[in-house]
Amino acid sequence: MENIFDEYLNSIGANGIIKKRVEELFNITKKLIKEEIKDVIIENYKNSTRNVFTHLSFFSDSYSISFENFQSENICVISKFNNKIAFLKIIDDKYDFTQANDDSSLFVEIRYGNQIGGTFKVFGQNCDYLWKIINNYFIPNLGW
Instruction: Give residue-wise pLDDT tens across range 52-76.
Output: 899 999 999 999 999 999 999 989 9
Q: Where are the domains of the chain?
A: 3-141
**CA–CA separation, 99 vs 29, rounded Å?**
30
- What class does CATH assign to 3-141? mainly beta
Number of C-beta neighbours around residue 12 at 10 A? 18
Q: Report strand pairing: 85-93 vs 75-80.
A: unpaired
**CA–CA separation, 63 vs 37, rounded Å?**
9
> Crossing angle of helices 16-32/3-11, nearest 10°?
140
Instruction: Give residue-wise pLDDT tens across range 87-140.
Output: 999 999 999 999 999 899 999 999 987 767 889 999 999 999 999 999 999 999
